[in-house]
């Protein structure tokens, strides 16, 4: 902002600007942005190449434009102007939000933090500071070159802070803990446009809320993490197995169930189930990674090898190469693609019900054959939770420290006339899997949530009163209300599960 342009003058100069869909947002926000900031309109020929695109187009918010701030002051001024003119907004880091609540935003803007992708490593203090839009892929090289290690979430292209604000689950959480547990401090812009730093000693209540419900309380411009201890010198045993579901699903899921009370903190499993377009048969693609040498991993992998997979391999790789070598090196185009029409549901479980999973495969097979234009897959993330459970419940908002498995259902399709059939199938499947999850009420990791499950499912019923109080304090107008929102008032917390 120009030195002579005070905040009061900015508000006065823009007060008469209409905020309809046809408004030129350049007139509204231009006077308060720095020279390196930029404004992009959907009518621009290069709009999609200039702004961060959402990974899924399903229930995508219809932005009237995008602002790319270059400084923290740009973010503050954008929030203040938007609030003054009742212009709704969403901040974007990696662009991997899936909640259908985003579609409720109308005549609003995207605050694209793409220029906030800095990564700074303090090796002496073992601290890692990243910008609001840094992706896991951005931090791999500096961390690895320093001889350190850091959890990589569930995909290399995901935004570090977007993942962290929901808790930050990962295959490494058994020995490194949640990303939110590694947080040292967070710098964010509040609904009032203030820049605050929250930690265990500053704004401790806000820091509690940010770790599990963070999207509700501000725009994080940077955060500092403590680096976890490096395990096995950064080497990982990464193994892949392919099975026909019809013959092997019961055994594979039985093996999964056997780990419920006896899983190594170093082991993580990812199991993808899909209808193979060539053979027209359901297949199970199993990835097992173990943060130790192959001889120590062997006892855990033997049970899978003994099932005589169609194909298998056991690799010894560096930690940054786990994603590239998982699933036989098949590119993860869905997780890291853009503007795919992916309709998603998720269920958290604290036990493995092998019979329920096998039953779902029957429904998946029937649905996939009846709707060949819809590619539906189930992804099971079986992450250990030893280090997660060392942190007392209530230390952060995250309510599911005993959770053992995330079950994701993803339907990708282009023909939108299939939506009703997809919705009916996914709702029924989610309901059945939730009933077999071991939880008395639905448990859903907020970053995997569809958006209709309700606050109790995302944040835990026991946390809602405190969250509501903090929401009224820090965001009384509900400006940050388009991503699995914390309600400011009481009332039912049940969702549509």
Q: 231-278, pLDDT tens digit by residue?
A: 999 999 999 999 999 999 999 999 999 999 999 999 999 999 999 988
pTM > 0.85: yes
Distance CA 260, CA 437 (A): 12
Distances (CA, A) of 445 to 150, 164, 196, 347, 456: 21, 12, 27, 8, 11
- DSSP classification of residue 88: -
pLDDT tens per residue across span 176-194: 999 999 999 999 999 999 9
Residue 491 has pLDDT above 70, yes or no: no
Residue 426 has pLDDT above 50, yes or no: yes
Of 158, 160, 167, 320, nearest to 224 (Cα)?
160
Distance CA 236, CA 318 (A): 6
Distance CA 26, CA 78 (A): 11
Distance CA 433, CA 98 (A): 20
Q: Are 77 and 32 in contact (CB under 8 A)?
A: yes
What is 137-156 written as a DSSP string? Answer: HHHHHHHHHTT-----TT-T
Average the pLDDT over 91-101 and give the result: 93
* Percent of the chain scoring above 70 in pLDDT: 93
SS (HEC) of 429-488: HHHHHHHCCCCCCCCCCHHHCCCCCCHHHHHCHHHHHHHHHHHHHHCCCCCCCCCCCCCC
pLDDT tens per residue across span 16-49: 444 444 458 999 999 999 999 999 999 999 999 9
């Amino acid at each position: 902002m120009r030195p002579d342009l005070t905040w009061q003058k900015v508000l006065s100069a823009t007060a008469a600007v209409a905020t309809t869909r046809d408004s030129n947002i350049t007139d509204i926000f231009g006077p308060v942005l720095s020279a390196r900031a930029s404004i992009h309109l959907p009518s621009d020929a290069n709009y999609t190449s200039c702004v961060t695109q959402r990974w899924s187009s399903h229930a995508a918010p219809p932005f009237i434009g995008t602002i790319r701030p270059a400084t923290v002051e740009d973010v503050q001024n954008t929030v203040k102007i938007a609030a003054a003119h009742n212009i709704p907004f969403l901040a974007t880091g990696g662009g991997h939000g899936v909640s259908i609540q985003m579609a409720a935003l109308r005549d609003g803007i995207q605050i694209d933090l793409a220029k906030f992708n800095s990564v700074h490593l303090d090796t002496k203090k073992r601290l890692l500071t990243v910008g609001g839009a840094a992706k896991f892929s951005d931090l791999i090289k500096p961390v690895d070159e320093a001889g350190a290690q850091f959890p990589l979430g569930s995909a290399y292209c995901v935004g570090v802070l977007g993942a962290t604000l929901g808790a930050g689950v990962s295959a490494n959480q058994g020995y490194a803990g949640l990303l939110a547990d590694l947080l040292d401090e967070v710098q964010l812009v509040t609904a009032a446009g203030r820049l605050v730093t929250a930690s265990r000693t500053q704004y401790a209540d806000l820091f509690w809320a940010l770790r599990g419900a963070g999207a509700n309380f501000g725009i994080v411009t940077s955060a500092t993490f403590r680096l976890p201890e490096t395990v096995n010198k950064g080497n990982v045993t990464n193994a892949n197995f392919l099975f026909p579901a019809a013959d092997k699903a019961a055994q594979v899921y039985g093996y999964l169930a056997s780990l419920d009370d006896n899983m190594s903190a170093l082991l993580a499993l990812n199991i993808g189930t899909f209808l193979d377009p060539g053979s027209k048969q359901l297949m199970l693609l199993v990835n097992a990674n173990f943060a130790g040498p192959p001889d120590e991993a062997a006892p855990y992998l033997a049970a899978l090898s003994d099932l005589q997979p169609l194909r298998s391999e056991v690799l010894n790789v560096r930690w940054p190469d786990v994603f590239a070598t998982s699933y036989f090196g098949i590119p993860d185009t869905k997780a890291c693609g853009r503007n795919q029409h992916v309709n998603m549901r998720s269920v958290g479980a604290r036990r493995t019900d092998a019979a329920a999973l096998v039953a779902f495969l029957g429904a998946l097979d029937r649905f996939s054959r009846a709707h060949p234009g819809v590619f539906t897959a189930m992804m099971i993330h079986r992450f250990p939770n030893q280090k997660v459970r060392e942190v007392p419940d209530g230390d952060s908002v995250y309510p599911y420290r005993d959770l053992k498995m995330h079950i994701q259902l993803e339907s990708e399709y282009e023909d939108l006339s299939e939506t009703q059939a997809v919705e009916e199938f996914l709702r029924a499947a989610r309901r059945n899997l939730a009933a077999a999850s071991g939880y008395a009420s639905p448990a859903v990791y907020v970053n995997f949530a569809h958006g209709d499950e309700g606050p109790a499912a995302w944040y835990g019923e026991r946390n809602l009163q405190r969250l509501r109080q903090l929401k009224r304090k820090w965001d009384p107008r509900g400006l940050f209300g388009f991503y699995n929102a914390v309600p400011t008032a009481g009332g039912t917390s049940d969702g549509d599960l």
